[in-house]
Amino acid sequence: MSKPLLIASGWLLTAAGTFALGWSLRSSGNYVSDGDASAQVPVRSSITGKRTLGEEGKARKQQTAEDAFLAKYIIGGGVSPANMKLAMKAVVDENDPLKRAALFTTLLAQLTPENAKAAFEAFDRTGGVGRFGRFGDNSKQLFMNAWARMDGELAVKALEEQAKANEGQGGGRGGRGGPTGVMDMYSALTGWATVDASKASAYVEGLENDRMKSMYTSGIVRGLMVNGVDEAVDYVSSLPEDSGDRSRYMSTIAGDMLEQGLSSATAWVDGLTDASVKDGAMSRVAEEYAREDLDGAVSWVKEHADEAYAASAVSEVAERWANQDPQAVIEWAAELPDASQAKVYYEALDEWTKNDPAAASEYLAEMPDSAAKDSAVEGFATELSREDPESAMAWADTISDPQVRSQAITEVAQDWYRQDRAAVEAWLPSSGLSQEAQETVLQPQRGRGFGRGGRGR
């Protein structure tokens, strides 16, 4: 499923919309003259909204504002590097955002491997020229995407050199993977991946900053999505299975598939052959499905509930359903395979506790010991801890599974610490928690996880 250049990256949507508007203004012939006769075009009839044949003839003969602008810089059928820099500087210096967008789009069509570096120099803030960004658009990111499709190595190298120069002048911490120019680099790698994913990926693999590596890998996925989701899925499948980001990348692809409708998205998920990347895609689609058609989502995820890749999707649906009827979710959990029950019980008890903690505790007291009960108690205790952390701690301590018990106690202790720091500091040494868990308790600002699924609450 190909995407046009202007929406190659989700980060460029704002710029793309602006540029599309610029093109729309140009093609409709509704530009308002700024005094230059060459920029004037005939207006439509205020009665019929249509031009007469005579007006159409005049319109074809007259230049648009963009054509008039470009004519100043084209020599011999193209724009030389020197003229490209002058033209881009003129575009950068244009204060009208709509006119600037239209001119920029026109100039971008004249970009070549020979003049791209010169155009890039017009964006350089250190040269006193680069005012893009002052108006809140993403023009430089779009430019980097386009340049990298022509010459990815040179585009990336130029950004690295610029970052080092800015660092040397106190303009930020730049370099490979540094925070300066992160979005410019993301866009360049997205464009590079569209035409040569192997080289773009090799560059990213050479980075030392894991956070930047993860972000830029996401850019490669987006670049491949321009060519179609199959290429993007194949790339994600090629990543190491222990990569914690594979689910996130698949969620990104699934979001693109959802634009075609739920039926198409669910059919796509069902057709994925690599189960190791299916979880992120299914979870994202289930989230949207449950929002639009809860009954349909319940039926869909139940068909897959005995598969490991469906665990997060089942949890998504259970969470949405539990907001409405937690007891119905508990009844549903009993119909599911053991592998899916734990998260469903967690969600059901978490929601039930918000509305009726007494009834929820009575239900838990009657449940037989099991992995499902451990998850149910975890959901109950971590929700109850917001109001009554000491009672919640007593419940968390009844969990049989050592790993689940430690996680539940840690989360409850975080809430308790927010409410009574002295009490928790006195309790921690005898809590039985590992040193790492104790440090986590004392840093509750990091947020809390979701059961064994890791989703924040």
Mean pLDDT of 295-319: 94
Mean pLDDT taken over the chain: 81
In angstroms, what CA-CA distances link 76 with 69, 80, 117, 377?
16, 9, 20, 76
What are the extents of the domains in the chain?
A: 350-457
In angstroms, what CA-CA distances link 147 with 24, 214, 216, 352?
24, 22, 17, 54
- Number of residues that this document lists for the chain: 457
Cα angle 139, 142, 148; round to 5: 140
pTM above 0.85, yes or no: no
pLDDT at 289: 97
Cα 364 from Cα 355, distance rounded (Å): 15
Residue 310: pLDDT over 90? yes
pLDDT at 443: 84
Please list, residue by residue across 343-366, b when 16 or more beta carbons sit within 10 angstroms of its beta carbon and e when fewer do.
bbbbbbbbbbbbeebeebbebbee
Single out the residue of 256, 236, 145 nearest to residue 190, CA to CA: 145
Query: What pLDDT band is residue 445 in, cutting at 50, 70 and 90?
Result: low
* pLDDT 10s digits, 24-46: 333 333 333 333 333 333 333 33
pLDDT at 168: 59
| 35-39, 111-115, 184-188, 235-239: range with lowest mean pLDDT | 35-39
* pLDDT 10s digits, 351-401: 999 989 999 999 999 999 999 999 999 999 999 999 999 999 999 999 999
Query: What pLDDT band is residue 181 in, cutting at 50, 70 and 90?
Result: confident
Q: Are 353 and 384 in contact (CB under 8 A)?
A: yes
Residue 323: pLDDT over 50? yes
Residue 304: pLDDT over 50? yes
Residue 324: other Cβ atoms inside 10 A:
10
Mean pLDDT of 208-216: 92
Query: What pLDDT band is residue 62 in, cutting at 50, 70 and 90?
Result: very low
pLDDT at 408: 95
pLDDT at 92: 84
Cα 292 from Cα 107, distance rounded (Å): 43
Q: Are 190 and 219 in contact (CB under 8 A)?
A: yes
